Amino acid sequence: MVKGKVALVTGAGSGIGKAAAIALAKEGYAIGALGRTASELDELVAEVKSQGGTAKALIADVADPYEMAHAIDQLTETFSRLDVVVANAGINGVWAPIEDLTPEEWDNTITVNLRGTYLTLNKSVPHLKAAGGGSIIIVSSINGTRTFTSPGATAYSATKAGQLAMAQQLALELGQYKIRVNAICPGAIETKIDDNTDIRSSRETAVPVEWPEGDIPITGGKAGLSEDVADLVVFLAGDKSRHITGTPVWIDGGQGLLR
């Protein structure tokens, strides 16, 4: 059981972020639950507290530097330190043929996924340094890092590849401060992120390949759970992963090996 350590989780209101926040709280971390929807965060905080944990809701847009600075200031004023950062907030955005994808749609995906990750780390790393080290966990994807067959997912895949590059670049940059940086790359996971996905003209971009039956071998095609990813977050946050940094971990039930 971890005592006295603090974890920031972005996109904490639902899906992987919510599961990660709950799992870390059960391990004894105080949680800074960051997101844009107050009702979701309040529900999460109440659940954590009902299980004997500690959490604080932080309302912020990860792409807004002023909101992020204020949120992390609130976090450190409340808990006095920061040890773990789970940069999870993101969107699927628009998936469309490249000639049909508008600049505004491209920019929106880049802004939330890459600028949001940058700002999360930009504002939190000084506090990790002050704590004498810590762990950064970036939630990327198999798209853009292991597979490239999702029709029209160019913007999304570019951001996920960029997140992995950030993790590996920063693993070297921050190693001297005892800060580890790793990337989790989930495959199909049961979350609400598809609600934020707009797919257009997929027939124009789909690759005409017949895949083996059941595209997630270990589960017979069934998507993984947010809790599966949360267990990995807990491992990468703690001392049992003390010699792991700059590493992508694909958590996809073997899906990426088929795709």
Instruction: DSSP letter for 115, please.
Output: I
Out of 29, 118, 156, 177, the active site residue is: 156
> Sign (positive/negative) of CA torsion 33, 13, 18, 167?
negative
Give CB contacts under 8 A, 24+ apart, made by 53-59: 53/25, 53/26, 53/28, 54/25, 54/30, 55/21, 55/25, 55/30, 55/31, 56/30, 56/31, 56/32, 57/33, 58/8, 58/32, 58/33, 58/34, 59/34, 59/35
User: How far is it, in rounded angstroms, from Cα 127 to Cα 160?
Assistant: 25
What CA dihedral angle connects 146, 84, 123 and 156, to 10 degrees? Answer: 20
Among candidate residues 251, 237, 249, 240, the one with its CA nearest the CA of residue 24: 237
- Write out the E strands in the chain: 6-10, 30-35, 55-59, 84-87, 93-95, 134-139, 179-186, 197-199, 248-251
Q: Note if 66 is an active site residue.
A: no
Give catalytic residues, as residue numbers.
Answer: 156
